[in-house]
Structure 1
Amino acid sequence: MKLSDNRIMQEDVEHASAAEFIDWERFKGRTVLVTGATGLIGGQMVMTLLNANAERGLGMKVIAAVRNREKAEELFKYADKSALELLVQDVNDPYSYEGGIDFIIHGASITSSKAFVDYPVETIFTAINGTKNLLELAKSKQVEGMVYLSSLEVYGVVDLSLDSVDEKTFGSIDPMSVRSSYSEGKRIVETLCTSYAHEYGVPVKVARLCQSMGAGVGYNDGRVFAQFARAIIEGTDIVLMTDGSTERNYCYISDAVTGILTVLLKGENAEAYNVANKDTLISIKDMAQMLIDNYPDSGTSLKFNIVEDVTKLGYNPKVKMNLATDKAEALGWHAEVGLKEMFDRLIKSMIIIHNS
Structure 2
Amino acid sequence: MLAGKTVVISGATGMIGAFLIDVLMRKNSTEGLSCKVVALGRSAVKAKARLPYFGRDHFSFEEGLVTASGYRPVAPADYVLHLASSTHPRQYATDPIGTIRANVDGLQNLLEYSAGCGARLLFASSVEVYGQNRGDVERFTEGYCGNIDCNTLRACYNESKRLGEAMCQAYRSQRGVESVIARIARVYGPTLLPDDSKALSQFMHHSLAGEDVVLKSEGTQRFSYLHVADAVSGLLHVLLLGADGEAYNLADEGSDVALKDLAALVAEVGQVKVVFDLPDAQEAAGYSKATLALMDGSKAKGLGWIACYGIADGIRATMEQMSQAG
Fold shared by both chains (TM-score > 0.5): yes
Aligned pairs (5 A) from 1:225-240: 225-240=200-215
1:288 equivalent in structure 2: 263
Distance 1:348 1:313 in 2: 32
1:109 equivalent in structure 2: 85
1:136 equivalent in structure 2: 112
Distance 2:248 2:47 in 1: 29
1:196 to 162, 171, 176: 171
Structure 2: gaps (5+ residues):
none
Conservation of the 8 A alpha-carbon contact between 2:227 and 2:314: yes
Deviation at 1:88, TM superposition (A): 0.8
Conservation of the 8 A alpha-carbon contact between 1:217 and 1:346: no
1:314 equivalent in structure 2: 286
Letter in 2 for 1:129: D
Q: Call closer, same or farther: CA 1:288–1:99 in 2, change over 3 Å.
A: closer
1:341 equivalent in structure 2: 313
Q: TM-score scaled to structure 2, two decimals?
A: 0.94
2:274 equivalent in structure 1: 302
Q: Call closer, same or farther: CA 1:138–1:228 in 2, change over 3 Å.
A: same
Deviation at 1:98, TM superposition (A): 4.2
Letter in 2 for 1:28: A
Conservation of the 8 A alpha-carbon contact between 1:139 and 1:200: yes
Distance 1:309 1:134 in 2: 35
Deviation at 1:203, TM superposition (A): 0.6
2:98 to 111, 114, 122: 122
Structure 1: gaps (5+ residues):
1-25
Deviation at 1:55, TM superposition (A): 2.1
Q: Does 1:149 align with 2:98?
A: no
1:56 equivalent in structure 2: 31
Deviation at 1:96, TM superposition (A): 3.7
Letter in 1 for 2:14: G
3-state SS of the aligned residue for 1:124? Answer: helix
1:166 equivalent in structure 2: 141
1:73 equivalent in structure 2: 48
What RMSD in Å do the two structures reach over aligned CA positions?
A: 1.9
Deviation at 1:247, TM superposition (A): 0.8
Deviations 1:182-210 (A, max 9, x none): 00010011000111112221111000111
Distance 1:80 1:266 in 2: 31
2:301 to 329, 339, 353: 329
Deviations 1:172-231 (A, max 9, x none): 111111111100010011000111112221111000111111111234532211221123
Distance 1:219 1:207 in 2: 25
Q: TM-score scaled to structure 1, two decimals?
A: 0.86
Letter in 1 for 2:310: G
Distance 2:138 2:225 in 1: 16
Deviations 1:12-39 (A, max 9, x none): xxxxxxxxxxxxxx11211110110011
Deviation at 1:149, TM superposition (A): 0.5
Deviation at 1:54, TM superposition (A): 2.3
Moved more, 269-278 or 224-233: 224-233
Distance 1:59 1:237 in 2: 46
2:324 equivalent in structure 1: 352
Deviations 1:130-174 (A, max 9, x none): 00000000000011x211101100001112452211001132111
Deviation at 1:305, TM superposition (A): 2.6
Deviation at 1:57, TM superposition (A): 1.6
Letter in 2 for 1:305: D
Conservation of the 8 A alpha-carbon contact between 2:189 and 2:227: yes
1:241 equivalent in structure 2: 216
Letter in 1 for 2:78: D
Distance 2:146 2:281 in 1: 21
Letter in 2 for 1:174: D
Distance 2:177 2:138 in 1: 34
Distance 1:98 1:310 in 2: 39
